[in-house]
Amino acid sequence: MSHLPAIDIHIKRALISVSEKNGLIPLARRLNNLGIKLLSTGGTARAIRESGIEVTDVSEITKFRECLDGRIKTLHPNIHAGILARTTMEEDLNTLRELGIQPIELVVVNLYPFKKAVSRPDTELGNAIDKIDIGGPTMLRAAAKNFAHTSVLTHPGQYDAFLTELEENDSFIRYDTRLELARAGFNHTAEYDNLIAGYFNSLEDKIPPRQINISLPEAHGLRYGENPHQKAGVYGEVGHYIDCFHGKELSYNNYLDLDAAIQLMRDFGDEPSCAIIKHTIPCGAASGDTLTKAYEKAFSTDTVSPFGGIVIANRTLDLITAQAIDKIFTEIIIAPGFDDEALELLTQKANRRLVRLKNAGGDVPAFSFRSIFCGALAQEADQLAADPSGFKAVSKRTPTAEEMKDLLFAWKIVKNVKSNGIVFAKNGKTLGIGSGQTSRVDSSEIAITKAGKFGHSLKHSVLASDAFFPFSDGIEAAAKAGASAIIQPGGSVRDQEVVDMADKYNMAMIFTGMRHFKH
């Protein structure tokens, strides 16, 4: 049947079988008040009946009792013929009459909590398998496929609007509503299947797995993408991580900058720290005794680039820090919290976005993805924390305690700088940053030039490089600029020449043994 009848459908019978019982009784009561006959299974039927609402067990319809510990309840022609019947076709209606089956115009199903079960690290395979729903997805897919004649509800958040439409239209539901609910139903089963497939893929000893299934719900649409002619949206559980509670809606580019800011700040512990991000690159970062000092040190790195940028803090933002940030136009401020006085000041500018970071340390993605011409690239996320115990001092002179502290600080920053990445730092603050150049020497020269431009002496500073130095000229340039210690991965065929150059200038050099390219 190629043509779907775009007509309102009268709801007479509803099949309800839900794992999530929230909203169940109000739903059942309002359907019952409309004279809609309720069919149900297991615990759902029991809950409805205990609330004094009349309900018919599915087993009475199938003439077959539930079996195999409830695994078989609704997988029966008397159920699925009722769901799949095209009730505008006389042929289907005649078949139902011959078989003694009545149509089911509404299916309300949500599935076993598989995601919750496998989120626990101690979940055994057998327990995970028990949470794989079979009958539920089958009913959902059947009802969604037959949306021209049947409605499907998958989430308590849908109940109220659906019931209101029924109550206002004498138990009839519109075609457009059914189409939208079918779309949600198919997305629900697709996400569920992806969760299961992802879990089974994770069981094999292969990283990345041989197949990756991604199912992300739309969080909300965006005005446009990187440029106004590009349509865009943001997907995933955005609200679980951030809350943009003041200012304009976040843009596509804002989300990219926020991601860069959050990734950078994850590497910092409890010491008050701030970073300023512009076009996904840190233009200043620092730690200090107070959040205000950390911000002022970060801002002093480059007092031009922060205009229109993003500030991220790892502590609740206080009034004094807010006043310091408020001196220039800052597009977004992100922090775990905001003092009342800070909020009173910062909310005076209507267009400035304020973002509360709700889940900074948890749920780190296992993989990162990038789209390419043929599909996507996948890799383990670069979440490997610096481990000084694995570092190797390769120069004649070892770093002082103060140098080592700054080297670790600079190493955290350069990890988040676009390759080729160079960072000069001292006293827990960036002095010059060079990024995204086609040679490491160019990045070094830019970092040195910018440090000089903003009045920063590089004497006794440290330098971090995201990858090895292929030639010794970069070390000589850093020494002449004033750097006294360098941290880099090592691994060049000319490592010895590089170390010899460091020794020539009495520099301390650390090999980390790990690279942090960020293309």
**Catalytic residues, which ones?**
145, 279
Q: Mark 111-136 as b/e (b = at least 16 C-beta within 10 Å).
A: bbebeebbeeeeeeeeebeebbbebb
Contact 82, 76 (CB under 8 A): no
Structure tokens at 141: 């897919």
CA-nearest of 254, 265, 243, 351 to 309 is 254
Sign of CA dihedral 171, 172, 176, 179: positive
Q: Do 322 and 342 meet the contact criterion of CB atoms below 8 Å apart?
A: yes
Record the tokens describing residue 78, joined without a space: 């008397």
Q: Where are the beta strands (DSSP E) in 362-409?
A: 367-372, 375-380, 392-393
- Single-letter amino acid code for the residue at 30: R
The CA distance from 486 to 493, in Å, is 18
Half-sphere exposure of 431 (CA within 13 A, CB side): 27
User: In DSSP terms, which residues pair with 369 in a beta bridge?
Assistant: 378
Q: Does a cis peptide bond (omega within 30 degrees of 0) precede residue 365?
A: no
Q: Pinpoint the alpha helices (H) of 339-453.
A: 340-346, 401-414, 440-453
Q: How far apart are CA 411 and CA 422, in angstroms?
A: 10
HSE at residue 426, side-chain half, CA atoms within 13 A, is 16
Cβ(313)–Cβ(334) below 8 Å = yes
Question: Token pair for residue 27?
Answer: 């739903």
**Spatial distance between the Cα atoms of 376 and 471, rounded to a whole number of angstroms:** 34
CB 485 within 8 Å of CB 475:
no
In whole angstroms, what is the distance from residue 168 CA to residue 43 CA?
A: 30
328 exposure class (CB count in 10 Å sphere: 0-12, 13-18, 19+): middle
Q: DSSP states of 303-315 as a string?
A: SSTTTT-EEEESS
Number of helical (H) and strand (E) elements in the chain, helices listed first: 18, 23
Assess contact for 447 and 423: CB atoms under 8 A.
yes
Torsion of CA 48, 53, 58, 64, to 10 degrees: 100
